[in-house]
Amino acid sequence: MTQTALAGAETSGSDNAPAALTAEAPAKPVRTSRPRPAAKPHGQWKVDGKEPLNANEVWKQEDGGLSVRDRIETIYAKGGFDSIDKTDLHGRFRWWGLYTQRKQGIDGGKTASLEPHELEDKYFMLRVRIDGGSLTTDQLRVIGQISTEFGRDTADLTDRQNVQLHWVRVEDVPEIWNRLEAAGLSTTEACGDVPRVILGSPVAGIAKDEIIDPTSLIKEVSARFIGDPELANLPRKFKTAITGHPSQDVVHEINDFALVGVIHPELGPGYDLWVGGGLSTAPRLAERLGVFVSPEVAAEVWLGVTSIFRDYGYRRMRTKARLKFLLADWGTTKFRQILQDDYLGHKLPDGEPAPKPTSPGDHIGVHEQKDGKFFIGVTPTVGRVSGTKLTALADALEAHGSFRLRTTPHQKLVILDVSKEQVEPLITVLDGLGLSARPSLFRRSTIACTGIEYCKLAIVNTKDTAATAISELETRLADLVDTGVLTQPIALNINGCPNSCARIQTADIGLKGMMLPTDDGGTAPGFQVHLGGGLATDNRVEAGLGRTIRGLKVTAAQLPDYVERVVRKYADVRLSNETFAEFAHRVDEELLK
């Protein structure tokens, strides 16, 4: 039963409780009704008012997250970590891209038993916000230099097109901000209950087959609304994805708001609107509202959907405070009606869905741009790079005539504007930096979250586990690749906890970190396995969540063995042209263990 249905049942029904017997009619009980207690409010501003219903909502109303920047610059950077107010530290700092990182040496078995202050170190993860993934080589060099000078040479490419640094001291944050902002970058609202980074097509404005270029729209939304106090207190995070490329390359089905390029038969190029997607512990795929969004009104539509979330989102319980829960209760018809009537003031035309993608959305390899130059998609190992590597990359690109690049929603990089004669020389240099334009199927398709190395929520190591698995699988399954039995990447997504930052439910093989019992009575890091998930791609028409098999868990040490075993079973019994995901949903459970 939905939350709306539950609310109705609690306020309008009767429980048919028996009344007291009377002397006049002792033989037949008389039933009477009494009202049930009113349902608890969801904390929807437009329905319940703005009275805070939990501690997070209290401090957000008392002093918003954006306000903490001044205190960081004038108080905390001078007084050091121990001078930081605890509410600022665990709350408002996120509005500026700062999380405390995990203290080193605490194993995953203690993640759930220790208090947050026992898990955290006196250093920060700093998230650099990169809307649309768009970078110049000058900006890349600034990030690389900040990493080497202030972050112990750490840098990770995330699956939301950001760059994350670690080991950052609060004393250094003002100088880091100065350098980033001088280069046209920021950490504003990179975390927190705000509009997070805007995912954008990595080939926006350059692809030969692009339907519509979203670059100006992404810039408009970012310039107008990011850092706006009116949108800086949402129920929880709000994720946006916008693409005009037919590969649908921004994982739109798992974002709160997404626009996908389409061509309307009468109105021309524009967007198909999706709302209410998200994963974590309660995964739900976004739904189409069935409207066509012209580029002229797209920013206002974004504002309308974001404002609906602000005004009607569920604030009482943070576990229900994502847009997906509101959409589940309202449905798309009501959502569309309120958007049009109360927030836009006009109807949106009906629209059709975008066709099935015709090419992979990771853009790996060499591709011709519409101007005759080339872009090159390259992959590091599960997003792990370094400041030294980023600086060297900036130098290498400039030496080969390229001054632009993009991050991607797949922990990859896309190098732009390479002349034909420079393609192969540049690929050779990129290989030397550990950035492959022709990666193995396993390196290409594996992503991993931050993991226990730095994350306070993590239970297992992810980056090293993934790198080991890639190396093992490249050797163990080489025969299937060399003989052409295995030609398509099999997505292996590794997450250190249940929160699905690495999108485990939408991978061919998704792995959720957990501690597993061992034969000697102890525990070992391992994973629950999800199989057969995926988003819309060139070999999948519709997104779908993975299948879980009761009891199917593997330790981190057993992971290469398990993946080899299940991939070989797929190769042995698959039907003609059957994908791994189709195989995983078709066969009996025993074949998947």
For the beta carbon of residue 14, count every other beta carbon within 10 angstroms. 11
Decide if pLDDT at 239 tops 50. Answer: yes
Task: Record the tokens describing residue 550, joined without a space.
Answer: 């009761």
**Residue 100's pLDDT is what?**
97
Range of weakest confidence among 2-11, 189-198, 489-498: 2-11
* Helices assigned H by DSSP within 406-555: 423-432, 441-445, 463-476, 478-482
User: Could you report the per-residue pLDDT of 211-233, keeping only the tens digit for each?
Assistant: 999 999 999 999 999 999 999 99
pLDDT higher for 15 or 238? Answer: 238
- DSSP per position, 236-262: S-EEEEEE-STT-TT-GGGSSEEEEEE
Would you list the domain boundaries of the chain? 444-592
* SS3 label, residue 572: helix
Dist CA 321 CA 309 (whole Å): 9
Q: Could you tell me which of 328, 321, 330 has the C-alpha nearest to residue 54? A: 321
For tokens 């195989």, the residue is 583
Query: Percentage of the chain surpassing pLDDT 70?
Result: 94
User: Could you report the per-residue pLDDT of 290-311, keeping only the tens digit for each?
Assistant: 999 999 999 999 999 999 999 9
Mean pLDDT (whole number) for 553-567: 97
User: Could you report the per-residue pLDDT of 399-448, keeping only the tens digit for each?
Assistant: 999 999 999 999 999 999 999 999 999 999 999 999 999 999 999 999 99
Q: Residue 117 — pLDDT band, cuts 50, 70, 90?
A: confident
How remote is the C-alpha of 206 from its chain's centroid? 25
Return the half-sphere exposure (C-beta side, CA atoms, 13 A cut-off) of residue 437.
Answer: 20
* SS3 label, residue 282: coil
For the beta carbon of residue 174, count every other beta carbon within 10 angstroms. 16
* Helices assigned H by DSSP within 203-322: 215-225, 298-312
CB 136 within 8 A of CB 143: no
Query: Percentage of the chain surpassing pLDDT 90?
Result: 91
**Average pLDDT over all residues of the chain:** 93
Decide if pLDDT at 199 tops 90. Answer: yes
Would you say how long the chain is, in residues?
A: 593
* SS3 label, residue 64: coil
Dist CA 36 CA 7 (whole Å): 11
Decide if pLDDT at 25 tops 70. Answer: no
Q: Residue 38 — pLDDT band, cuts 50, 70, 90?
A: low
- Numbers of helices and strands, H then E, in the chain: 19, 20
Range of weakest confidence among 25-34, 238-247, 364-373: 25-34
Task: Record the tokens describing residue 68, joined without a space.
Answer: 């903490």
Dist CA 390 CA 406 (whole Å): 13
**Residue 36's pLDDT is what?**
52
Q: Residue 11 — pLDDT band, cuts 50, 70, 90?
A: very low
Dist CA 409 CA 411 (whole Å): 6
Amino acid of residue 208:
K
Angle between helices 298-312 and 323-338 (to 10 degrees): 120
For the beta carbon of residue 433, count every other beta carbon within 10 angstroms. 17
Task: Give the burial class of 62: count Cβ atoms within 10 A of its Cβ; 0-12 exposed, 13-18 middle, 19 or more buried.
Answer: exposed
Dist CA 7 CA 3 (whole Å): 6
Dist CA 535 CA 349 (whole Å): 26
Mean pLDDT (whole number) for 77-99: 98
User: Could you report the per-residue pLDDT of 150-194, keeping only the tens digit for each?
Assistant: 999 999 999 999 999 999 999 999 999 999 999 999 999 999 999
Q: Residue 19 — pLDDT band, cuts 50, 70, 90?
A: very low
What does CATH list as the number for 444-592? 3.30.413.10
Instruction: From residue 110, give the alpha-carbon distance in Å to each of 105, 296, 499.
Output: 11, 52, 17
Task: Give the burial class of 92: count Cβ atoms within 10 A of its Cβ; 0-12 exposed, 13-18 middle, 19 or more buried.
Answer: buried
Mean pLDDT (whole number) for 503-521: 95
Range of weakest confidence among 5-9, 197-201, 430-434: 5-9
Dist CA 386 CA 375 (whole Å): 22
Q: Residue 116 — pLDDT band, cuts 50, 70, 90?
A: confident
**Residue 145's pLDDT is what?**
98
For the beta carbon of residue 381, count every other beta carbon within 10 angstroms. 20
Instruction: From residue 198, give the alpha-carbon distance in Å to each of 208, 242, 555.
Output: 23, 7, 35
Q: Residue 289 — pLDDT band, cuts 50, 70, 90?
A: very high
Strands (E), 402-544: 404-407, 413-418, 446-448, 492-495, 509-517, 523-531
**Terminal Cα-to-Cα distance of the chain (whole angstroms):** 33
* Helices assigned H by DSSP within 433-516: 441-445, 463-476, 478-482
For the beta carbon of residue 13, count every other beta carbon within 10 angstroms. 11
Decide if pLDDT at 17 tops 50. Answer: no
Q: Could you tell me which of 142, 382, 158, 380 has the C-alpha nearest to residue 251? A: 158
How remote is the C-alpha of 380 from its chain's centroid? 19
φ, ψ of residue 585 to 5 degrees: the values are: -85, -20
Mean pLDDT (whole number) for 232-253: 98
Q: Could you tell me which of 291, 293, 279 has the C-alpha nearest to residue 323? A: 279
Q: What 8-state DSSP symbol labels residue 303? A: H
Return the half-sphere exposure (C-beta side, CA atoms, 13 A cut-off) of residue 148.
Answer: 12
Decide if pLDDT at 455 tops 70. Answer: yes
* SS3 label, residue 517: strand
CB 132 within 8 A of CB 203: no
- Beta partners for residue 366, in sequence order: 376
CB 415 within 8 A of CB 405: yes
Q: Residue 20 — pLDDT band, cuts 50, 70, 90?
A: very low
